[in-house]
Every structure is written in C-alpha cells, then in structure tokens.
Structure 1
Amino acid sequence: MTLITSTSNLTVEKLQEDTSLGHFLYGLLAAFPLLLLPSLFSLLINMLQREAGMGDVLKSHLGWQRRSMFGLLAVLLLGYSLTVTWASMTLYLLGTVWFTARLFKGWLSLLEGRSI
C-alpha cells in the first residue's frame, strides 16, 4: 500500500511543478519579431535562473531556450557580417524560421509537461 501511495505522490508532485517561469520566458521570446529587447530580457532572466532549484522539466526548457537564443544571435551576427544583401537577408529569414520552429516546439512540449 505504501508503494502505491509514494508513486501517486510522485506523480502529483510532477504534475504540480511550477512552469510559469517557462511560459513567461517563452512569451518574451515570442516577441522577437517586433523587437529583440524582450528576447534579450528573457535570456537575461534565463541566465539568472540557471542555478535556481527547479524541476527537470523546467530545467530542460530553460536550456532549450538558451540554446535557441544563442543560435539566433549567432545567425543574426553572421548575417550582419555578410556584405551581400541577398545572402544576409536569406540568412535572417532562415534564422527566424528556425527560431520560430524551436519556440513552438518547446512551448508545446512545456504545455504538455514534457522535457525537451
């Protein structure tokens, strides 16, 4: 009987993990086409929360967000360094599509309560 009780307590704790920070940061990241500032603010909050004690699901999503943001910044800097306009615009477009796909995939996984 105690085995069933401890298993159901573990399931309840996993379901009750607070993921509101993850949703807030995904919301800030989603504002990147308008301005880059909300996304940079999200990255700053993400980096400050790196050492905070949190569940496995939220920790995996914060790592996913960091890698996505650093990848987007790398693509934007590479596009900025190119002198050919069509090449830099193509790189900006591809980077934006890639980042948007990662944003949707991560946020949907967080809504389902899965690690990424």
Structure 2
Amino acid sequence: MDDPAGSDQRQWRLKHANGGTYGPYSTSELRAFAREGRIRGDSLLAQEGAGDTWRPATSWPDLGLNGGSLTGVPDRAVPPFPDEPARRPVSDPAFAHAVYGLYALGGILPILPLVAAIVGVMIAYVRKDTAIGMELESHYDWQIRTFWWGLVFFLLSFITTPVLIGIPAMAVTWIWFTYRVIKGWVRLMKREPIDDPTGLI
C-alpha cells in the first residue's frame, strides 16, 4: 500500500501494555510491523512532535494497522513477534542523577568546572543506549545537548570578552545552564521525561 502524500515523513511512538514507550518509527515501519503480525490495531500510538496524545492505532485510519498482536518491544529497532519474550532495555536513574550532579558541581565551583561537565556528558553518552524507549532517554539527550550548547555559548562569550559583550554573555550562559540542570533534575526526581529534549529551554 502506498503512503498518502507526506505520511512517510511522520514519526510515531508506540506504547506497550507494560507502560514502556518505543520508537520513533516511520509510517512505513509501522505498516510493515502490522503485516508481520508484530503490532495490532488497538496498540497505542502518538505522533512525534504532537504532544503526548496517545490514541489506538485504529484512530489513524490511513496507517492501516489491523493485524497481529503486541506482547513486547525490546528497543527502537524491531518489535518482536507475539510469541517472543519482551526484552525491555534496563537503565538505572542513578546515572542520570550523577550527570545532573556533576553539571551542578561544575556550575557552582570555580575550580575545574569543565572537567566535571566532561565526566557528566561521558556518562550520558555511555548510558543513553541502555535507556532507549524509556523516559531516561530524553534526560540523556537533554544532558548531552546541555553540555555541547553550553560549551559553544561559553566559547563565544570568551571570544567576545575584549569587546565587553563576553562578560554579560557568560552570565546569561551560566543562568541558562543552571536552569537546564534544575529543570532536568526536578523532572527526573518526579520520574518524568523531558517533553522536548532538543529544545533550548
């Protein structure tokens, strides 16, 4: 079946009965999973970038998801067949807490702040693959982007210091960095994902 115009550009997240969310998948991938019996019409889907509105797959008639059953989704790659055991990725929130702690340490102490941030982002990179499809994945994305954007903003502030723009720019960068650490850490403590991990604020 050919996709309607533009439908292949959409990305979808899938929610399993165990509460885990997986994806994103393209429309073509979802249709392929349905034909193979890996997903069924009443599985919950949310369109990427459209908020957290979860609806049964049958609510999206152009997807044509009407076969198979869903028993477990191991990761972003391919859902298993119904008779395969569920293999959810396992991740420990302690590592995400450690990253926020290192970022906070780097933002408060004037001594070796970059070292603490580098250690933190390395942990985020290493642990990200263990959190695919879980709320922790958004936190690791948030932490990685916080590091790189913060580094870019700091370098730009440093370069412009001779023309008196750099000092207020550094202050703004510090406030922005602190805000992202606090926002992410609070949501992690509440076991909530970051709604838009690619956003600046």
- State the match for 2:154 in structure 1: 76
Could you tell me which runs of 5 or more consecutive residues in structure 2 were left unpaired when the two chains were aligned. Answer: 1-16, 20-90, 195-201
Which structure carries more relative contact order (alpha carbon 8 Å, separation 6+)?
Answer: 1
Aligned residue number for residue 86 of structure 1: 164
Letter of the 2:156 partner, please give it. L
- Once the two structures are aligned, what percentage of the paired residues are identical? 28
TM-score by length of 2: 0.47
Which structure 1 residue ranges, 5 or more long, are not aligned? 1-6, 12-16
Structure 1 outlier segments of 4+, above 2 Å: 48-55, 83-86
- In structure 2, what is the equivalent of residue 52 of structure 1? 130
Give the number of aligned pairs. Answer: 105
CA RMSD of aligned residues (A): 2.2
- More helix as a share of residues: 1
Rounded Cα–Cα distance in structure 1 between residues aligned with 2:122 and 2:154: 18
Aligned counterpart, 1:64: 142
Structure whose CA Rg is larger: 2
Matched, 1:28 2:102: yes
TM-score normalised by length of structure 1: 0.79
